[in-house]
Amino acid sequence: MSAVEMLDKIVVAIADGGGRGHAFVNACRKSPHTKKILAFKGGDGWRTGPDDGLVECFADIDAGNVHAIIAEAQKQNVNLIIAGQEIFLVNGGADVAGYNGIEVMGCSGDAARLEASKVWAKTFFEKYRIPTADFEIAQSPRQAYAIVDYWFLIREVESLVLKADGLAEGKGVIIAHSRAEAHAAISEIMIDGTIKKTYPYAGNSLIVEEFIDGREMSATYFTDGIDLTPMLVGVDHKRRFDEDGRVPKDQNRMTGGMGLYAPDPRYSPGIREQVKKIARQIIEGMKNEHCPFRGILYLGLMICNGVVYVLEVNVRFGAPEAQGILALFDSDFVELAWATATGQLGKYKTRWKKGKVSVTVTLVSGPYPAPITAEAKGFEIFGLEEAAKIEGISVLHAGTKLKDDVFVNNGGRVIDIVAVAGTFKEAIALANRAAMMIHWQHYDYRKDIGKRVLLYAD
């Protein structure tokens, strides 16, 4: 296998402001090719100390501000942009960067419709016979009510999934177990609920989808439009609270992610082949749609009776998938990103830490996934340094801010604790030990992250 052709030293820019971005920064630090890292907007906790000149964060330029990012990238001779948040791609970041001669690990704005519009994506799945749940599209609340009533009263389904069409940071999905719950979800997403108020453009259209009961997992591929390089498969925990029955399902809201374990010990060869076929179908379908896909392809999947169904497609690494999976990565991440951006994945080979697993626990501000108002921010975070000293633990900053020389909470998902160990039992214990050491006023985390995996692995 030929070596990837690239510059000896490069300046890397990362378009992300959360824990995934911090994971990217840590991965880029390990590469001998990294000359400097710019982060838009980055986080105060992404630097190893005040004298760390390798990382420069731009607190006033977020990932969606494409033109400001490209202007600064040109000014600082950036060679490669790594897209973390989807908004950079949806806003045409890869297109603008390419026009200005900067390589980008990320897809075009047209290709980003796979994530930006669930209506577009579901129609695409249907056209290219990609296995997915049966669905209907509602363009108004009145139409949504009619569809829901038909499914519950005529088709006599037991549950439905309602999904906001546009970007809602993983919070635009509601599972309804009754007609009344579905009606409430329509109001929440399309009329005057929290989701509609927080993401006003996401709920103009709605997907009403059959509920498939099975085992949820995610698979991530890097692709240069020709070759596919798989990452390890992780199992995300999206519900806000422990799934022990103490919080009813209709009150246990879906979130952007509360934790993860990786790799998935139940990822059998048969499932792997189905997933690989789906990824290839998507890549070929996008070529046919005249918007070839290059970047990161994230597949949210459900396995039911041995059959894999696509729940969603994202055009970037998931979070906390990136945090937990990159902790096990043992190759040069900058080289992988460069190979993806420049069409050289066929020359690249991934390596993983042998005999290691990871468990990621996300610490959140109490009201999450509800919007975090000013009253819920600004509380001093204790125990960060002590937790980071535990062998096998990485503490990633997702929603923190440095204020008067101390870190305070500044968002919903605040800290990601990533534990790497030889067994899941050890990793779970490590992650929870670190989680108990970190605290601030009105914080919370799930105590059951990874416990289900103990049924299948040590």
- Say if 116 falls within a structural domain: no
Q: Which amino acid is residue 152, in one-letter code?
A: F
Same domain, 219 and 206: no
Q: What is the pTM of this model?
A: 0.93
Per-residue burial over 41-53, b = 16 or more CB atoms within 10 Å of its CB, e = otherwise: bbbebbbeeeeee
Same domain, 341 and 222: yes
Which pLDDT belongs to residue 53? 87
For residue 206, give its domain range: 134-210
- Say if 82 falls within a structural domain: yes
Mean of per-residue pLDDT scores for the chain: 94
Domain boundary among 87, 106, 125: 106
5 burial level (CB within 10 Å; 0-12, 13-18, 19+)? exposed
Where do the DSSP E strands lie in 88-138?
103-105, 135-138
Same domain, 343 and 220: yes
In the predicted structure, residue 201 carries a pLDDT above the cut 90:
no
- Say if 255 falls within a structural domain: yes
* Residue 93: CATH number of its domain: 3.40.50.20
Which pLDDT belongs to residue 254? 82
Confidence at 371, pLDDT banded by 50, 70, 90: confident
Same domain, 339 and 391: no
Which pLDDT belongs to residue 1? 56
- Say if 141 falls within a structural domain: yes
Domain boundary among 210, 233, 250: 210
Same domain, 307 and 376: no
Q: Can you tell me which residue has the tokens 């630097």? A: 47
Q: Which tens digit of pLDDT belongs to each residue from 54-68? A: 999 999 999 999 999
Confirm if 266 and 219 have CB atoms less than 8 A apart.
no
* Residue 392: CATH number of its domain: 3.90.600.10
Q: Which tens digit of pLDDT belongs to each residue from 385-418? A: 999 999 999 999 999 999 999 999 999 999 999 9
The CA–CA distances, whole Å, from 93 to 287, 307, 452 equal 20, 36, 39
Which pLDDT belongs to residue 100? 96
Same domain, 196 and 219: no
Q: Can you tell me which residue has the tokens 């982060």? A: 39
Find the mean pLDDT for residues 368-394. 95
Same domain, 236 and 169: no
Which pLDDT belongs to residue 61? 97
Find the mean pLDDT for residues 116-130. 95
Same domain, 174 and 238: no
Domain boundary among 162, 177, 210: 210
Same domain, 160 and 147: yes
192 Cβ contact partners less than 8 Å away, ≥ 6 residues apart: none
Closest CA to 414 of 391, 384, 388: 384
Where do the DSSP E strands lie in 43-95?
55-57, 80-83
* Residue 153: CATH number of its domain: 3.30.1490.20
- Say if 392 falls within a structural domain: yes
Q: Which residue has the higher pLDDT, 338 or 170?
A: 338
- Say if 125 falls within a structural domain: no
- Say if 173 falls within a structural domain: yes
Domain count, the chain: 4
Lookup: tokens for 104: 């980008």
Same domain, 190 and 288: no
Which pLDDT belongs to residue 2? 65
How remote is the C-alpha of 405 from its chain's centroid? 30
* Residue 251: CATH number of its domain: 3.30.470.20
Same domain, 226 and 175: no
Q: Which residue has the higher pLDDT, 252 or 9?
A: 9
Same domain, 239 and 190: no
In the predicted structure, residue 115 carries a pLDDT above the cut 60:
yes
- Say if 202 falls within a structural domain: yes
